[in-house]
Amino acid sequence: MCIRDSYTTEELINFVEDGTYTINGLDVTLTDNKLSLANYITNEQITLSIVKKGNNVTTVASEAQTLIVKARPAAPTKSEIIVTQPSVIGGKGTIAGIADTMEYSTNNGINWTTGDGDDIGDIEPGTTYKIRYKAVSADEEAERQFKSAEYSVTIIAYDAMPETQPTISINYVNEKLTGFTEGCDYIIKIDDGVATDKDNVTEDIDIDNTYFGHTLKIVKKGDGIKTSNSEAFELSIPKRSSAPNVAAVEEQTYQGNDGKITGVDTTMEYKSLSEPTFTWTQCAGTEITNLAPGSYVVRVAAVADESFASEVMSVTINAAAKDEPTEPTVNITYDDKNGNVNAIFTNITEEGMVYVAEYNENGTLLSIKSDEISDSVIIPFTCVNKSKVKVFIWKNDMKPLFNKVFTLN
């Protein structure tokens, strides 16, 4: 009987077909006249006593064969297998030191590949390599060995350090978000809805109208190489308060610029929508006076570190209507005492001269008299029977204002 071990398949072989055996006094069950050494290979060398049983009729048990089962070699060490883990986000790993005396498996030992001493690179994170020394079936027993214990290594994804959580505050007066690190990238998310990238921030960020009354989740982006996104900083943006209840008073005199806005107080401010500068002016009392016709907006002013400006109230100051000049009044009266006829001019609102020209019935000019306009002008003249009197009023710009013909009896 010459039973021997196979170092590559880790089996005892050369059993007699259909024979029955004991090892170290215990019955064993053969498969295809072979016996697995799985239960006998340990980290220490052991000795097996193998006996072929007789049939107790024509044969008896054989002499025992002594077989030494070598210990399983130790696994490759960390100092032999050099692992370089990913050092950046999305990076891959490298394994070096797998010599041609070793083999490795990437599918949990189902298949094995002999090493060649070259580095194995571009290994995806999550991949596990099992590495061992190969079994050796040499001619000399001293050189023979089972495959070694396994050294297992897993490529681990780079654990990026998150960016520091930002601390953002509100500038209520200028309606901006402040506290960003210059040149860095951010994500601003409204509640759990829309997220907006804010890349390469170089200044405070305007508070968009969609932010009011919502909670912002602000994340500082990682650099994509060494750092990941920060934890979100949550910032509640209050709503604007309602617009103040104010009223406009129209201009009282034409081009007088004496319109007003009433119902204001010193917490409010206003501006004209007609002014190119479009600046806000603080209210000084309960009304705003001496305003030109046009459109205005009024709001409660922002309070630093406390509240935004309110919604605006829009008002319009209407222009006063232009006064139409009234027609002068001219009366012809007889002065019995002096024997004259007087032309009396009243209700004249323009500056200029008044003229009285008297003609006879044939149209010949008899006389002409004039005077400067005042509140009331009286021009006396001699009445000739059946004469006609033509009165004129000329403004200083030499434009006629009034003329009328009177026939005297």
According to the model, what pLDDT value does residue 352 have? 79
Beta bridge partners of 353: 372, 394
Three-class secondary structure of residue 54 per DSSP: coil
Based on the domain organization, do 170 and 141 belong to the same domain?
A: no
Q: Is the entire prediction scored with pTM above 0.85?
A: no
In our burial notation (b when 16+ CB lie closer than 10 A, e otherwise), range 73-83 reads: bebbeeeebeb
Is 309 a member of any domain? Answer: yes
Is 324 a member of any domain? Answer: no
Question: Which of the 8 DSSP states describes residue 143?
Answer: G
Based on the domain organization, do 341 and 401 belong to the same domain?
A: yes
According to the model, what pLDDT value does residue 2 have? 72
Question: Which of the 8 DSSP states describes residue 79?
Answer: T
Domain boundary among 173, 203, 237: 237
According to the model, what pLDDT value does residue 53 have? 94
Residues in contact with 206: Cβ distance below 8 Å, sequence separation at least 6, in sequence order: 175, 176, 177
Based on the domain organization, do 54 and 101 belong to the same domain?
A: no
Is 379 a member of any domain? Answer: yes
According to the model, what pLDDT value does residue 382 have? 66
Q: Quick one: tokens of 27?
A: 């019955």
Based on the domain organization, do 334 and 402 belong to the same domain?
A: yes
Based on the domain organization, do 12 and 62 belong to the same domain?
A: yes
In total, how many domains does the chain have? 5
Look up tokens 């000795």; give the residue: 47
Is 337 a member of any domain? Answer: yes
According to the model, what pLDDT value does residue 381 have? 66
Based on the domain organization, do 176 and 223 belong to the same domain?
A: yes
Is 187 a member of any domain? Answer: yes
Alpha-carbon distance 331 to 343, whole Å? 6
Is 354 a member of any domain? Answer: yes
Secondary structure of 174-242 as H, E, C letters: CCEEECCCCCEEEEEEECCCCEEEEEEECCCEECCHHHCCEEEEEEECCCCCCEECCCCEEEEECCCCC
Alpha-carbon distance 224 to 229, whole Å? 9
Is 131 a member of any domain? Answer: yes
Closest CA to 297 of 280, 318, 319, 320: 280
Q: What is the pLDDT along the chain (409 residues), one digit of tens a residue?
A: 577 878 999 999 999 998 999 999 999 999 999 999 999 999 999 999 999 999 888 999 999 999 999 999 999 999 999 999 999 999 999 999 999 999 999 999 999 999 999 999 999 999 999 999 999 988 888 889 999 999 999 999 999 999 999 999 999 999 999 999 999 999 999 999 989 999 999 999 999 999 999 999 999 999 999 999 999 999 999 999 999 999 999 999 999 999 999 999 999 999 999 877 778 999 999 999 999 999 999 999 999 999 999 999 999 999 998 876 677 777 777 665 555 677 676 777 777 787 777 777 777 887 787 778 777 777 776 665 656 777 777 777 777 777 777 776 6
Q: H or E stretch including 316?
A: strand 313-317
Name the residue range of residue 219's domain.
164-237
Based on the domain organization, do 335 and 402 belong to the same domain?
A: yes
According to the model, what pLDDT value does residue 386 have? 56
Question: Edge-to-edge strands of the sheet including 35-36?
Answer: 4-6, 11-13, 35-36
The dihedral built from the CA positions of residue 265, 268, 273 and 279, taken in this order, carries a sign that is positive
Based on the domain organization, do 106 and 136 belong to the same domain?
A: yes
Domain boundary among 217, 237, 257: 237
Domain boundary among 48, 69, 90: 69
Rounded alpha-carbon distances, angstroms, from residue 264 to 129, 299, 301, 313, 401 = 78, 9, 12, 11, 46
Is 22 a member of any domain? Answer: yes
According to the model, what pLDDT value does residue 132 have? 98
